[in-house]
Amino acid sequence: MNTSTPEVQGHGGTQKTQFRQLIKKMGSLIGLIGLSLILTFASPYFLTMDNIMNVARQSAINSLIAIGMLLAILTAGIDLSVGSILALSTVMMGIVVVKMGMSPIIGVAVCLGIGLLLGWLNGMMLTKMSLPHPFISTLGTMNVARGLALIVTAASPISNFPTSIQFLGAAFIGPIPVSFILVLVVYAAFHVFLNYTTVGRYIYAVGGNPEATRLSGISIDRVLIIVYTISGLMAALGGLVLVGRVNSAYPLAGLGYEFDAIAACIIGGASFMGGEGTVWGTLIGSMIMAVLRNGLNLLSVSAEMQTVAIGIVIILAVYIDVLRHKAAARVKA
């Protein structure tokens, strides 16, 4: 009897560990399903094809920005400049295409190129100026890019883009928004990038154990520059989708988008401590944000209260991340 007791306890401990791992992996998906069920009963309009496609379309911009933000968070960093990069890249595209009458192809190249350039500058400032945290470099870029967007447009919107530029944000293939198809393609590519490439594994290593990564001969500076360059590119791509949706580029576009992107990552299982997070978890986190906003609209909740609700969700998501790390520390102890 005595010899069998440790075996039973060990088996129970294994089951508890497996259960915790399952909850950790599936927690965000369970949350999305639970939220959807609540809204299905709360509103007869939620679970309709038109509304589901509307949620998919609404989630696209945040999903694109969030996947770039995920890379920064995986390295224990953050990118506060994504909303301002979105604004500057899109208004510059508007100036090139609408004001100067140049080809839409050149305009798209300018939009994505500015995103790449500003993201690269974020990475260079962080690494070459030895700044203590990306909060500083990206906060500076956030203000510079926003100011430039206001200056070059005289604080006025630019409208009437060609149909070809509106395609990603406005077109549908059957009932499915092209913007959401783009999101799925991008996320599949990032899944391969993070899980099956050397650079992807380095990104996890930099956030998980930077000292060991440095001692193994990996250039942390190079990895960080790649990460913030990609983040800038994804912000610009999100801006391209936004222009397609509203047929306008305006200098105040993207205000607060960085917080939605961070929330999507953390809700999806990423950690501010670095080294933890998945591509598909981030997509689910972005969908939760979109479903929540859509549900609050259907329930006629005021915009002010929606802001309060989103703020509470962000706080809870970060708190859950803290609890998750404390639990992991206790298990290790």
Token pair recorded at residue 177: 């928004």
123 or 314, greater pLDDT: 123
Count how many Cα atoms sit within 13 Å of the Cα of residue 304 in the half-sphere of its side chain.
0
323 falls within a domain: no
Token pair recorded at residue 3: 């010899």
Q: Confidence band (pLDDT; 50, 70, 90) for 319? A: confident
Of 64, 252, 31, 322, which is closest to residue 168 (Cα–Cα)?
64
212 falls within a domain: yes
Contacting residues for 252 by C-beta, under 8 A, at least 6 apart: 87, 149, 150
pLDDT at 19: 58
Q: Confidence band (pLDDT; 50, 70, 90) for 130? A: confident
Give the mean pLDDT of 80-88: 97
Backbone angles phi, psi at 161, to 5 degrees: -80, 155
113 falls within a domain: yes
321 falls within a domain: no
Contacting residues for 139 by C-beta, under 8 A, at least 6 apart: 80, 81
With a cut of 90, say whether residue 6 has pLDDT above it: no
Three-state SS at 131: coil
Please give the tally of structural domains in the chain.
1
27 falls within a domain: no
Contacting residues for 220 by C-beta, under 8 A, at least 6 apart: 127, 206, 210, 213, 214
Cβ atoms within 10 Å, residue 247: 16
52 falls within a domain: no
Q: What is the pLDDT of residues 224-243, one digit of tens each?
A: 999 999 999 999 999 999 99
Q: Using alpha carbons only, how large is the chain's radius of gyration in Å?
A: 21
172 falls within a domain: yes
pLDDT at 119: 97
pLDDT at 24: 63
Cα–Cα dist 169/238, whole Å:
9
pLDDT at 262: 92
286 falls within a domain: no
Contacting residues for 12 by C-beta, under 8 A, at least 6 apart: none
pLDDT at 18: 61
Cα–Cα dist 115/230, whole Å:
8
With a cut of 80, say whether residue 10 has pLDDT above it: no
C-alpha dist (Å) from residue 19 to 26, 27, 324, 329: 10, 11, 14, 17
Partnered with residue 248 across adjacent β-strands are 159
**What range defines the domain where residue 235 resides?**
59-254
C-alpha dist (Å) from residue 181 to 40, 147, 167, 174, 318: 24, 33, 12, 11, 29
